[in-house]
Structure 1
Amino acid sequence: MRNRAVAQDPMALRHPQMTRFFAAVMARQMAASFRAVRLARPGLSDLPQDRPLVVYSNHPSWWDPAFFMVLHPRLFPDREGYGPMEAAMLDRYRFFRRIGIFGVDAGSRSGAARFLATSQAILADPRRMIWITAQGRFADPRQRPLDIRSGVAHLLARMPQAVAVPLALEYPFWSEKRPEALAAFGAPLDGAADAAAWAPRLERALTETSDRLATLAMARDPSAFVNLLPGRAGVGGVYEAWQRLRSMARGERHVPDHMAEGG
């Protein structure tokens, strides 16, 4: 029984070195796949160091968990990070248990209860945090309402010491071959009495944060963001090679971007 309990305990399974390694792998993949990974200014609000965190986001893309892993070491280097994953998928990719991922079965009462119990055990330590795609399914970032699942509200109602942090994500194309990876944090939330009070606050805060990010994404102004991770510029291939040769012939420096960077 004890061995089985340890096998289901994400705190016991999480391996710091493997977590750092996998975060570096995800950073390289995002750098290769996006023009840049950007965080909307002014960035992250001041957060209490003596309380656990729940970062909850929309879910526009397969890239969202990778984005979490890029953000975590840059913004929360002193915290242990964890996150839920569909149990059937985690059974296929057991390695994820070594980087703080735990299984959930959202389609059953027992699965919901296990999610709450595991999350409460994680958040019992104020140095820990959980990252959650709160919609629980892929959805367009401009879809309204967001329809956040109730699990986050029930968790926060059971953990009054925890602070909720809304996070909006988008992956729009601007002026380059590769898209942008954009993130924006909203103001932290706490103090609601129960799940019924938490649910509308969580929905409203994430909607406001997502609307703000949508406005910035449509404006296409890099100076509105901090560039967390430079990606790959230019179109590549024969066309870019020709541009480079033309710049050399003119004695000019080749600039692959179509848009001037700011910040």
Structure 2
Amino acid sequence: MRREPADVTSSLAKAPVPVPSQRLVRYFTRYSRWYLKRHFHGVRVLPSGMQRLLESTQVSTASGIVFLNHPSWWDPLVGVLLASRFFAEHTHYVPMDAKMLEHYGFFRRLGFYGVTLGSRGAKEFLTRSLEILSRPQSMIWLTPQGRFVDVRERPLQVKRGIGHIMSQAKASFVLPIAVEYAFWNHRLPEILLHVGDVRWLPDDGMASESACCEYAAQSLEKAQDELADAAIRRNEADFDPLMEGRTGTGGVYGWWERIRPGGHSRKQTTENTTSMENHS
């Protein structure tokens, strides 16, 4: 007898979380890096955030929870880049809507695990997430806002799920990461990142679900505010480069530079539109 789709979805949410295929993860990581380089001018991290990332890599055997704000479709690929660069020794997992995971079953082999809506789904999500964190060198990546949210929206609000996990997790570190996508002086946008303070669980100050949610919201909002202050200055020197993408003006500006006398010999700074207009 054929089961209803709801039964299939529920079974996916209950199924044991498989260990990701490292071969597929390596392939998807290479693809993600190529795709980001193709579509962005660069990925940049505030120096204090870079230092916190480097410090967190010292916890080589610990499990962790990384949570980001969620402004764009690009966020998962940014997570892939960070995971491969700073936490290559860890195994990474991401919760995903069970219905979507049923349709895109390939993602299960990349570390995605199903989550269903409702109180029953919340319990299953907590059980599976804590089981993952009990595995050495395992990390869960979360976007606790639960939807796409503009980086300027205040106050920042998070779903209760992150509070459930953090209040019951053992021997795990917690890392908030702010991400923003900005068009500066180039044809392609920048990916800008900042990292908040690392916390360890269990924490006496975060023993309850509500306290954990409050911490998650406040720490992520603080990281976003500090990142916004730097982004407004539009100065690459304020950031540490994590990855350089494509350069060049492109479009009508690039065409003009190619056909004008001496255009090929000009310095790369001509991709700055203002500079190019001043020399025209």
TM-score, normalising length from structure 1?
0.89
Q: 1:116 aligns with which of 126, 142, 146?
A: 126
Q: After TM superposition, give the deviation of residue 126 of structure 1 in Å.
A: 2.9
Tell me, in whole angstroms, the C-alpha distance in 1 between the residues paired with 2:13 and 2:218: 38
Alignment of 1:221-236 (within 5 A): 221-236=235-250
Q: Which residue of 1 aligns with 2:15?
A: 8
Q: 2:166 aligns with which of 156, 170, 176?
A: 156
Deviations 1:169-194 (A, max 9, x none): 11111111221111111001231222
SS at match of 2:262: helix
Are 2:113 and 1:102 equivalent residues in the alignment?
A: yes
- The alignment yields a C-alpha RMSD, in angstroms, of 2.1
CA radius of gyration, larger in: 2
Tell me, in whole angstroms, the C-alpha distance in 1 between the residues paired with 2:60 and 2:265: 53
SS at match of 2:182: coil
Tell me, in whole angstroms, the C-alpha distance in 2 between the residues paired with 1:5 and 1:62: 24
Alignment of 1:13-28 (within 5 A): 14-28=20-34
More off after superposition, 20-29 vs 228-237: 228-237
Q: How many residues align?
A: 254
Give the structure with the higher percent helix. Answer: 2
SS at match of 1:24: helix
Question: Contact 2:68–2:176 at 8 Å: present in 1 too?
Answer: yes
Question: Contact 1:58–1:146 at 8 Å: present in 2 too?
Answer: no
Change (3 A) 1:255 1:116: same
SS at match of 2:124: helix
Change (3 A) 1:19 1:120: same
Tell me, in whole angstroms, the C-alpha distance in 2 between the residues paired with 1:79 and 1:247: 53
Q: 1:92 aligns with which of 103, 108, 111?
A: 103
Amino acid across the alignment from 2:165: L
Deviations 1:137-182 (A, max 9, x none): 0000111111111111110111132211101011111111221111
Change (3 A) 1:163 1:249: closer
Change (3 A) 1:238 1:123: same
Q: After TM superposition, give the deviation of residue 51 of structure 1 in Å.
A: 2.3
Are 2:183 and 1:173 equivalent residues in the alignment?
A: yes
Alignment of 1:63-74 (within 5 A): 63-74=74-85
Tell me, in whole angstroms, the C-alpha distance in 1 between the residues paired with 2:251 and 2:162: 45
Alignment of 1:1-263 (within 5 A): 8-12=15-19, 14-42=20-48, 43-45=50-52, 46-47=55-56, 48-105=59-116, 107-190=117-200, 191=203, 192-246=206-260, 248=262, 251-258=265-272
Q: After TM superposition, give the deviation of residue 221 of structure 1 in Å.
A: 1.2
SS at match of 1:142: coil
Tell me, in whole angstroms, the C-alpha distance in 2 between the residues paired with 1:44 and 1:241: 41
Change (3 A) 1:247 1:93: farther
Question: Contact 1:150–1:199 at 8 Å: present in 2 too?
Answer: yes
TM-score, normalising length from structure 2?
0.84
SS at match of 1:171: strand
Tell me, in whole angstroms, the C-alpha distance in 1 between the residues paired with 2:81 and 2:271: 23
Change (3 A) 1:254 1:156: closer
Tell me, in whole angstroms, the C-alpha distance in 1 between the residues paired with 2:127 and 2:262: 62
Amino acid across the alignment from 2:187: K
Tell me, in whole angstroms, the C-alpha distance in 2 between the residues paired with 1:252 and 1:176: 16
More off after superposition, 84-93 vs 62-71: 84-93
Question: Contact 2:145–2:159 at 8 Å: present in 1 too?
Answer: yes
Change (3 A) 1:256 1:131: farther
SS at match of 2:37: helix
Amino acid across the alignment from 1:32: R
Q: After TM superposition, give the deviation of residue 92 of structure 1 in Å.
A: 1.7
